[in-house]
Amino acid sequence: MTYDLQLAEKIRNHLSGIPGLKVEEKKMFRGLCFMVNEKMCVNVSGENMMCRFDPELLEIVAERNGFEPMIMKGKQLSGYCYVNAVGYRSKKDFDYWMRLCLDFNKIAKASKKS
């Protein structure tokens, strides 16, 4: 599966404009993952954004346009969602999702290194 190159560039540009972030890109989840400060932050999966956010905010986040729960092996993953193009098309909405991911990134635990 290919991923939306324009969306990836939009995320890349957004992250590059924030001082102090260490950003690394990795191919992951059949798309492109943006690791911020060595933690998974936001991904491009097909035409969707895949966002990592504070699980405590699920009820609020689920009300947003474009929200789709992330389901793996029949189970909804807590703190992750997909956002379709309707949900990130406007600058205001795109900025909301990026802020949501970056706010959680500050407190998220990094994955264990193998």
Host domain of residue 42: 5-107
Q: How many CB atoms lie within 10 A of CB 106?
A: 9
Structural domain includes residue 60: yes
Structural domain includes residue 52: yes
**Predicted confidence (pLDDT) per residue in 50-80, tens digit:** 999 999 999 999 999 999 999 989 999 999 9
Structural domain includes residue 112: no
Structural domain includes residue 88: yes
For range 89-98, the mean pLDDT: 97
For range 39-56, the mean pLDDT: 96
Distance (Å, whole) CA 18 – CA 56: 25
Residue 1 has pLDDT above 70, yes or no: no
Structural domain includes residue 51: yes
Residue 114 has pLDDT above 60, yes or no: no
Phi and psi based region of residue 73 (left: phi greater than 0; alpha: psi -120 to 50; beta: remaining): left
For range 36-49, the mean pLDDT: 96
Structural domain includes residue 92: yes
Contact 20, 35 (CB under 8 A): no
Count up the domains in the chain and report the number: 1
Structural domain includes residue 67: yes
Structural domain includes residue 113: no
Band (17; pLDDT cuts 50, 70, 90):
very high
pTM of this prediction? 0.92
Band (25; pLDDT cuts 50, 70, 90):
very high
Q: Say which CATH number the domain at 82 has.
A: 3.90.1150.30
